[in-house]
């Protein structure tokens, strides 16, 4: 069989394998049989609310299972078509089969994305919070590079971007910043970016042109609405107001309306300064705090479910996920999945989807490998 056909087949099989894994395939088939039986029972509709919930679950699961089965069946037919065309020396038949396989590969990839983005808040808008690590100007400059990278990534995806909080660095860069990214599945795509990002380069701020290593932390959490019940006790809050300062003029206002909330039980800190109204900034900060608390609860539940609750680094800020080397060679390496790019300029211009896709897939497969960091 032609290499082109085999490449499409490999794509389809890999995507369907991931979808089946995300569905817990055998369990999903058993559950679908149960649901099919229940929706046929007239007594179910004695409780309309329960009946609607079961009917929705049945329809969703049925669509997911049918999609996988349809793609697999069409792939088998297309393979037979290609093999027949090759045996008979009919290039037109082979070409038709290849077109079908390509279409199925695209459909399977789309189905895979839906499986990867099926989390409780994956469809929501998202906040991306960036903090410079220790190291002064070096780390603050690196934090601003990440700030730009995520803004460019969002623009590439057609998402809308707003700056909620922006604290300029002492000489260059930023001490911290928070982006609000709005678009379908924004949180689902961005959620695996939480962690520590490491930069290695010849410092433009070092007259001796020495190599420096800098760190910045990224925290991603979803925008939530009133349908998510998150209670915050006012007694648990320390609230500070201040004037937005620094050179971030194009990003924020410079009135005394900036607000910082500290949630004492968890130590979570959020800040907002993008509006001239302190009332609106307080409202936004409270929404951000609730979102952080919700994300924290989700992360803990996920860790408990996977038996990794003791590994606090997976939930906290101390977990390094990626290294970016600009000198003496060029490489970006993800330390969770092993995905590598030799074009850091493109990555820092927002081309991070390959890293995101691999990290999302790893969440489904549960596979973890030891990846050696770059020097």
The tens digit of pLDDT for each residue in 235-245 reads: 898 988 887 65
Answer for the pair 66, 85: CB distance below 8 angstroms, yes or no. Answer: no
Least confident of 89-98, 250-259, 270-279: 250-259
pLDDT-derived band at 74, boundaries 50, 70, 90: very high
Whole-number Å distance between alpha carbons of 177 and 293 = 19
pLDDT-derived band at 361, boundaries 50, 70, 90: confident
Long-range contacts (CB closer than 8 Å, 24 or more residues apart) made by 76-81: 78/104, 79/1, 79/5, 79/9
Chain position carrying tokens 């989390």 = 119
Higher per-residue confidence, 257 vs 33: 33
Mean of pLDDT values over 196-222:
90
- CATH code: domain 126-365 is 3.30.70.1660
pLDDT-derived band at 120, boundaries 50, 70, 90: confident
- CATH code: domain 3-116 is 1.20.58.410
Mean of pLDDT values over 326-333:
94
Question: Which sequence spans correspond to the domains of the chain?
Answer: 3-116, 126-365
Residue 186 pLDDT? 94
Mean of pLDDT values over 21-27:
90
Is residue 153 pLDDT above 50, yes or no? yes
Whole-number Å distance between alpha carbons of 180 and 178 = 7
Mean of pLDDT values over 329-334:
96
Mean of pLDDT values over 256-280:
85
What lies within 8 Å, CB to CB, of 267 at 6+ separation is none
pLDDT-derived band at 68, boundaries 50, 70, 90: very high
pTM: 0.72
């Amino acid at each position: 069989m032609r290499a082109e056909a085999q490449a499409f087949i490999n794509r389809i099989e890999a995507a369907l394998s991931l979808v089946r894994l995300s569905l817990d395939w055998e369990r999903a088939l058993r559950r679908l049989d149960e649901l099919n039986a229940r929706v046929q029972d007239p007594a179910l509709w004695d409780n309309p609310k329960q009946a609607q919930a079961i009917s929705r679950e049945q329809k969703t699961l049925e669509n997911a299972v049918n999609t996988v089965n349809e793609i697999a069946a069409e792939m088998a037919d297309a393979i037979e078509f290609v093999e027949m065309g090759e045996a008979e020396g009919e290039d037109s038949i082979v070409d038709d089969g290849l077109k079908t396989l390509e279409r199925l590969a695209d459909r399977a990839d789309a189905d895979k994305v839906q499986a990867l983005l099926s989390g409780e808040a994956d469809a929501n808008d998202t906040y991306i919070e960036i903090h410079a690590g220790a190291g002064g100007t070096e780390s603050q400059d690196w934090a601003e590079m990440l700030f730009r990278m995520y803004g460019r990534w969002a623009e590439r995806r057609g998402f809308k971007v707003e700056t909620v909080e922006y604290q300029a660095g002492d000489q260059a860069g930023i001490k911290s910043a928070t982006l609000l990214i709005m678009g379908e599945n924004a949180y689902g795509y961005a959620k695996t970016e939480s962690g520590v990002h490491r930069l290695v380069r010849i410092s433009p701020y070092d007259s001796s042109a020495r190599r420096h290593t800098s760190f910045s932390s990224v925290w991603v959490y979803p925008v939530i609405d009133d349908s998510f019940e998150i209670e915050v006790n006012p007694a648990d809050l320390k609230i500070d107001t201040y004037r937005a300062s620094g050179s971030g003029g194009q990003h924020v206002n410079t009135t005394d309306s900036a607000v910082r909330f500290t949630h004492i039980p968890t130590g979570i800190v959020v800040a907002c300064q993008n509006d001239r109204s302190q009332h609106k900034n307080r409202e936004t900060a409270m929404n951000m705090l609730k979102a952080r608390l919700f994300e924290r609860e989700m992360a803990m539940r996920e860790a408990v479910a996977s038996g990794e609750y003791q590994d606090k680094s997976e939930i906290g800020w101390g977990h390094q996920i990626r290294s970016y080397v600009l000198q003496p060679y060029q490489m970006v390496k993800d330390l969770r999945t092993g995905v590598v790019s030799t074009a850091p300029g493109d990555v820092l211009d927002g081309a991070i989807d390959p890293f995101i896709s691999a990290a999302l897939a790893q969440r489904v497969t549960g596979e973890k490998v030891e990846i050696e960091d770059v020097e």
